[in-house]
Amino acid sequence: MKTRDKIIQASIELFNEQGERNVTTNHIAAHLGISPGNLYYHFRNKEDIILSIYEEYARNLLLETFPQVSPELKPLDTIILYMDAVFQALMKFRFFYANLPVLLAKNPLLHEKYVEVQHTISKRLSEMLISLREADMMTFEDDELADIVSILRLINTFWLSFYQTQNENTEINDSVFFDGVLKILVLLRPYITESAMNDFLEARSMYQQRHKNALNAA
């Protein structure tokens, strides 16, 4: 692995474990056993590292794991794969969402990139919901679509922050993410059609079991 990639991976690990605000470039260099000068050869500062991490996040989510709507994939399976992809990305890059407003305020270029990526995610999520409606699995009015998408993204984006403010134990593990998925399913249930309800409830049961297993393993 190239030094630049090692710096990115070590930064993600340290930011997640200790919190981005508590980690300096010197900490990252020491963790890797390299000189600060070697780190600065690849990145100008910590904000530059975080921008590169977000670019990796966007690439990971949008190009590698974000499901594409296709005739070969059941629409409901697409939305389940979407939730898996989003929450797995949140788990890997959880430090970013734990301090999102501050990170964006400190780095205008990061903010610009973030907004661009979020627009793309909104577009793809809208396509998924429309595919569910066309498959008679969901029912909603055209003027409700943007609000449904916004609320789904709101839960995805701020679920970790909400969880940590509501619990004395702020440790983030798999059970927290499965709990977030279950919250989204509660939101979607009123829009699920009768013909798709059995499949939907089966999917919900699967996540309930995953959540229970994760709690027992914690």
Handedness of CA 81, 214, 196, 86 (dihedral sign): negative
211 vs 170: CA distance, rounded Å: 17
SS3 29: helix
192 backbone dihedrals φ, ψ, rounded to 5°: -80, 135
138 backbone dihedrals φ, ψ, rounded to 5°: -135, 155
Give tens-digit pLDDT for 101-153. 899 999 999 999 999 989 988 998 898 899 889 989 899 999 999 999 999 99
Q: Are 125 and 155 in contact (CB under 8 A)?
A: no
Confidence class of residue 210 from pLDDT cuts 50, 70 and 90?
very high
Confidence class of residue 89 from pLDDT cuts 50, 70 and 90?
confident
167 backbone dihedrals φ, ψ, rounded to 5°: -135, 140
Select from 89, 84, 86, 100 the least CA-distant residue to 162.
Answer: 100
Out of 65-69, 128-132, 150-154, 172-176, the most confident range is: 150-154
Lowest mean pLDDT among 100-114, 155-169, 173-187: 155-169
Tokens of 191: 């829009």
**Residues in Cβ contact with 47 at an 8 Å cutoff, skipping those fewer than 6 apart:** 106, 107, 110
Residue 38's pLDDT is what? 96
Mean pLDDT (the chain, rounded)? 89
Q: How far is CA 156 from the centre of its chain?
A: 6
Q: Stretch 64-90: mean pLDDT, rounded? A: 75
Confidence class of residue 56 from pLDDT cuts 50, 70 and 90?
confident
DSSP letter assigned to residue 138? B
SS3 192: strand
Q: Are 42 and 53 in contact (CB under 8 A)?
A: no
